[in-house]
Amino acid sequence: MYKPDIFQAYPRLEKSIPWIEMGNYPTPVEKMSKLGGMLGYPNLWVKRDDLSSQKMGGNKVRVMEFLLAEMKASGKTVAISPGALGSNQILASGIYGKDLGFKIVGIFFKQCPTDYMCKHMLIDKTMGVEFNHVNSPYLVPFMILYHYLRNFDFGKRQFPFYIPTFGSSATCAFGYFNAMFELKKQIDQGLLPEPDYIFVTAGTGGTMSGIQLGARVLGMKTEVIGVRITDYLACNERIVASILNRAHKKLSKAGADLPALKFSAKDVKMIHNFFGGEYAAITEEAKSAKKMLAEIEGLTLDTTYTAKTMAAMIKYLKDRNLKDKNILFWHTYNTKDLGRFLDQNLCGKNLPESFQGYF
């Protein structure tokens, strides 16, 4: 039976950190020989977290294993989950939350139209997600407050659980902190060399924080580079440093014997100029990277997250002489077909009126 690697490294965490198994681990590591040949980089690798679960892959699986487990342990059954119209977070909350009997209150804000946006909303509806619409992400905090009060459980005297979009919680970093122990085992097994650089998408910072914290705790030489794909106010070096410090503190308090670490913004490396100016905006660099990786490596990327990260990585490597370095791209996009979760009888007209104009 699978047990998180951090529970094996720090046995006391098994009793103090809630966790529910959702994924299939370890995810594979593969050499990107063709892309490496094109770029002149012989040691270019990919960590295939697009295959993290048979149900729904991508980075949300590792996050939900700890986040929804924390919710279950709290005794709460209602969660507030904000995100864009095509949000993978709301989608994962709905898919995995349904299995646990949770009610997900979705707070949706506008995004640039994409090919997956409407399908995601229909799956959310199938999964029983409650739909609430706001015109701007800056109004989301007010809507969160409203639903906190509206869903207060007077019997248990508790507020609903919060699944964060803006400013990931410390718990959101646990999944990828654990993933770095998994990666270290693969390195020790000779499946890949220790990376000098890891490139990963930075949406709200939780995934990147877990990877960076894991690298530091394990004493690895790896430099983690996040590629920002959301607004600067939602993800920046200071936010990631804050998550790193909060995750370190929470793990230590839970019983992990971690080295003393303190992170500041200058310890966080991010690339900002591949965002595209608006969440989910499709850039030419992302379109090109998506097409190239599909053709030469058979990898499926998306233009909102991973193709932007790949485009940023390619430019970073072209602009520098790092050909003797080991480079790892952490693939965080779900590539599993989610059509089986969709009620084929649903259409845009089944959603509240404020959402129907997107179809």
Whether 61-168 and 5-55+169-331 are alike in CATH topology: the answer is yes
Q: Take residue 257 and report the two structure tokens written for it.
A: 């014997």
Model pLDDT, residue 29: 98
State the average pLDDT over residues 133-158: 92
Domain parsing of the chain, residue ranges: 5-55+169-331, 61-168
User: Which residues, in sequence order, are CB contacts of 170 under 8 Å at separation 6+?
Assistant: 243, 246, 247, 249, 250, 251
Span 81-116, pLDDT tens digits:
999 999 999 999 999 999 999 999 999 999 999 999
CATH of 5-55+169-331 given 3.40.50.1100, 3.60.15.10, 3.30.499.10, 3.40.50.720: 3.40.50.1100
Rounded to whole angstroms, the Cα distance separating 331 from 189 reads 21
- State the residue for tokens 């207060």: 152
Give the CB-side neighbour count of residue 299, counting CA atoms within 13 A. Answer: 32
Span 199-220, pLDDT tens digits:
999 999 999 999 999 999 999 9
Span 178-190, pLDDT tens digits:
999 999 999 999 9
3-class secondary structure, 82: strand
Rounded to whole angstroms, the Cα distance separating 131 from 356 reads 12
26 upstream amide cis, omega within 30 of 0: yes
Rounded to whole angstroms, the Cα distance separating 237 from 242 reads 9
- State the residue for tokens 């936010």: 239
Rounded to whole angstroms, the Cα distance separating 359 from 348 reads 6
Span 253-310, pLDDT tens digits:
999 999 999 999 999 999 999 999 999 999 999 999 999 999 999 999 999 999 999 9
Rounded to whole angstroms, the Cα distance separating 194 from 214 reads 13
Residue 56 burial (10 A CB sphere; 0-12, 13-18, 19+):
buried
Model pLDDT, residue 167: 56
Is the confidence at residue 325, as pLDDT, over 90? yes
Strand partners, 104: 79
Span 4-35, pLDDT tens digits:
999 999 999 999 999 999 999 999 999 999 99
- State the residue for tokens 């015109």: 135
Give phi and psi for 152, each to the nearest 5. Answer: -65, 130
The pTM (predicted TM-score) of the whole model is: 0.97
Strand partners, 135: none
- Burial string for 255-279 (b: 16+ CB within 10 Å, else e) reads ebebeeeebeeeebebbeebbbeeb
| Domain with residues 61-168, CATH architecture | 3-Layer(aba) Sandwich (3.40)
Model pLDDT, residue 166: 63
3-class secondary structure, 199: strand
Rounded to whole angstroms, the Cα distance separating 123 from 95 reads 8
Model pLDDT, residue 328: 99
Span 34-90, pLDDT tens digits:
999 999 999 999 999 999 999 999 999 999 999 999 999 999 999 999 999 999 999
3-class secondary structure, 224: strand
- Burial string for 313-345 (b: 16+ CB within 10 Å, else e) reads bbebbeeeeeeebbbbbbbbbbbbebeebbeee
Q: What angle do CA 185, 190, 191 make, to 5 degrees?
A: 80
